[in-house]
Amino acid sequence: MTHAHHQSNKDKLYLHMSIPKIEYYCTKLERSQPYLKGGRRLLPNCNNEEKCHPEKPLVSIVTVVYNAEMYLEKTIQSVINQTYENIEYIIIDGGSQDLTLEIIKKYEEKISYWISESDLGIYDAMNKGIALCKGDIIGIMNAGDIYTTEAVSTVINSYENSPISQIIVGNCKVTLDFEHSKWVVVSGKIDKLPYKTLPHPSVFVTLSVYKEQGLYNTSFRIAGDYDFLCRCFNKKVKFIHVDTVIAIASQPGLSSNYYLNEAECLRVRLQNHLPFYLSIFMSIFSFVTITLHKILANLGLWAVVESRRHGTIR
């Protein structure tokens, strides 16, 4: 067994047995030194050039991507066209085999730092991105999702007006079809926690919270963000809701595996010590609802349900 393979097995064991810390990922990135990397940080004489307005908080945006040549460009454009200027942008690619890297290189002068290497899943990639951040507050935007033009400005206004805020959550518009003609608004109201999650594309977390509470649990495939928010909620981290749409999410990707998603949500509730029988009941109800949705879809009737959902807030 090679040293690299042995180290990879140790990494997997550590990540599945504990909540990873930023320090672990900083060490891991220094040790691995990705072969494919780029961005403004690698320019000669670069001295924190992202912080062009030192009087303003530096905002870090992380995009994780894998083989998303059809969707990545609109995500990049939504970040680099923000009205707020003091932003560093980091992209973590999982070793894409399509044209994803060409798209990243097209915008290299606008990207602070990017790497491309294999990972252990979406939450491993997110954790890498967070460990590379220098900002005061961090947003994570998956490929295919976009920010509204004023999103970061809206978040920073709330952040500066509420010094005690540690996690800021806006509303998220979720499209119901590929033409984006039908949509619902998912509210970022904090009272959903801990029984339901918040819309992750519109969540911004201070770097200090990640340092204190740890990163995302990589043993989850889908519900790692829900687990992180529940952990923060239980630790009395201060949440602030901004009642404005700041993100637009595309058709669900991995999380469209609704049965797996609900199974992981049940695990989150139980691990975070929510009432056992209530947690079981919520999951049974969700499994029945998912099955009903699939039956309606097979009968060609789900479009009628989606039409009634269009424009609603939930």
Checking if the pLDDT of 49 tops 60, the result is no
Q: How many CB atoms lie within 10 A of CB 98?
A: 13
Pairwise CA distance, residues 54 & 37, whole Å: 26
> 183-203 pLDDT, tens per residue?
889 999 999 999 999 999 999
Checking if the pLDDT of 287 tops 50, the result is yes
Tell me if the pTM is above 0.85.
Answer: yes
Residue 236 lies in a domain: yes
Q: Name which of 25-39, 112-126, 142-156, 190-204 the model is least confident about.
A: 25-39
Residue 295 lies in a domain: yes
Q: How many domains does the chain have?
A: 1
3-state helix, strand, coil in the chain (%, to 5): 45, 20, 35
Residue 314 lies in a domain: no
Q: What is the mean pLDDT of residues 208-232?
A: 96
Q: How many CB atoms lie within 10 A of CB 263?
A: 16
Structural domain including 274 reads: 3-309
CATH code at position 192: 3.90.550.10
Helix (H) or strand (E) holding 128, with range, is helix 122-131
Pairwise CA distance, residues 181 & 129, whole Å: 32
